[in-house]
Each structure stands twice: as structure tokens, then as C-alpha cells.
Amino acid sequence: MELRVLGAHNAESKTTRLESHLIDKVLVLDAGGLTRSLTFEEQEGIRAVILSHRHFDHVRDLLPLGVGLLTSGKTIDVYAIEDTVKFVSENLMDGSLYPDFRIFPSPETPVFRFHTIEFYKEFQVLGYNVMAVPVYHAVPAAGFQITSGSTTLFYTGDTGKGLSQAWPHVDPNVMLTEVTFGNGDPDRAAVAGHLTPNLLEETLSDFKELKGYIPKIIVAHMNPAWEATVRRELAEVQRRLGFDLQVSEADMELDI
């Protein structure tokens, strides 16, 4: 499985992009900084998108992606829980901002075809085995376990304290997760439903106690104002727990 990090932050600037990831050039995990990371040719290679939740920084680039693919004749399958599908349908795909790409350029060949998925029910996407698991966040959200061959990736999306409730249901050897704030802002992290390095350490300790190992960890969704602190505090967590941790950056390509 080839993982390309398209965006690794929760705020955008000249040097940071909103969270989005690309698997094997065809499967997208969240669509925050998607189109500004890919050429038009690369965008035409996308065949499916998985959305973890409805927050704007995770769905925004569906619209410019739709514009770029308008004349391609291709339909991209989009998978998400009911809350996300409902929000995107009513607020992004209602035709008020851009054309409704669920029926445009025609109902027979729309740019996007949406699929509502259920928690704990495995489904197939482009030959990948995928299962959604509820994760704690400020809005209804899903983490996704994605298996291809010997690789099982668990993408937590945005989540916070309470992530350990997902552990009985997943068995990844790689985990793509978030750490948004540093340890100095626990109250904001709790209200917003995000992780700090301390909370990540706590939930990984729970994982090891239950499973007997800690998977390779890839961290994204950093708040740029906290990034230097988050990197330092994550290094301390890594030393204490002794596991493989990598802080991601836009355009990073990983063979997992």
C-alpha cells in the first residue's frame, strides 16, 4: 500500500495544507487539501473517496475536484456515514455553490456517486476491504480500517479522548491518526474532540494492553501554531513507549 500525504494540518497557509491522503493513487481519505496537491492528470486517476466526517477542512476540495473532472466522463464513488452524506448533500452538493455533482453533468454519469455506510459492516472499495468504526469528535465521525494484502491501515480521522473504544474492533499494523494540539491546551482539545500527545500516549497504552503491540503510527492534522510543541512532545511519547512514530508532512510518500 502506497500512502501519499496530501495535507497534514488543520489550517491552511502557503506552507500548510488541510488534511487529505491518497492510497495507491486511486483512493482518497478525506478531501481537505486534495486538489491543490495533485495535477489534473493525477486527479483523473482518483476512483473513490472516503470521508471521515463533515467538517469543512475534510470535505472542501470535493467541489474543485468536481469541476476538474466535469468533462472526464468518470464517476467517483464517495463513502461516508449518514450524517456526513446528509451534510455534504445539503450544503455542498445542493447546486448553490457549484453544480450538483451528484446529478451533473447527467444523472446517468454524475461526477460523484454517494454511498452511505454503516458502522462495523465491512464493504469493498476498489478491492480494498473497508470497515467504519465510530470515533469521538465534535460531530459524528468515523475511523476506517482499510486492508489490502498484508497491510491493514486504520485511519482515525479527527478524534479525541475516547478513541480507545475503537480498539476491540480493529487490528491495524499501521495507524494514521491526528494530534492537533499540544499538551498545554487540554481543555480546547477536549471540547473540540482532538488528541494531544498525552492523549495519544494514553490511547496507545490502552491499545497495547488489549492487543499486545503498538502499530506503526503516522500523525497528521496538526495545528500549525502548536506544531513545534507537538513534534517535541511526540518525540517524548515515542521514547517512553518505544514504538515507530512518524510525523507526516504534505507530499510525503510512504510505502506501508
Q: Could you give the domains of the chain?
A: 2-255 (3.60.15.10)
Averaged pLDDT for residues 122-146: 98
Residue 113 is predicted with a pLDDT of 98
C-alpha cell recorded at residue 84: 456526513
**If DSSP codes are grouped into helix, strand and coil, which group holds residue 37?**
helix
Residue 74 is predicted with a pLDDT of 94
Residue 109 is predicted with a pLDDT of 95
Q: CB-based contacts of 225: which residues, under 8 Å, 6+ apart?
A: none
Residue 228 is predicted with a pLDDT of 97
Helix axis angle for 227-241 and 197-211, nearest 10°, is: 30
Q: What is the pTM of this model?
A: 0.97
The CB density around residue 15, as the number of other CB atoms within 10 Å, is 9
Averaged pLDDT for residues 49-77: 97
Report percent pLDDT > 70 for the chain.
100
Q: How confident is the model at residue 172 (pLDDT cuts 50, 70, 90)?
A: very high
252 phi and psi angles, rounded to 5 deg = -70, 135
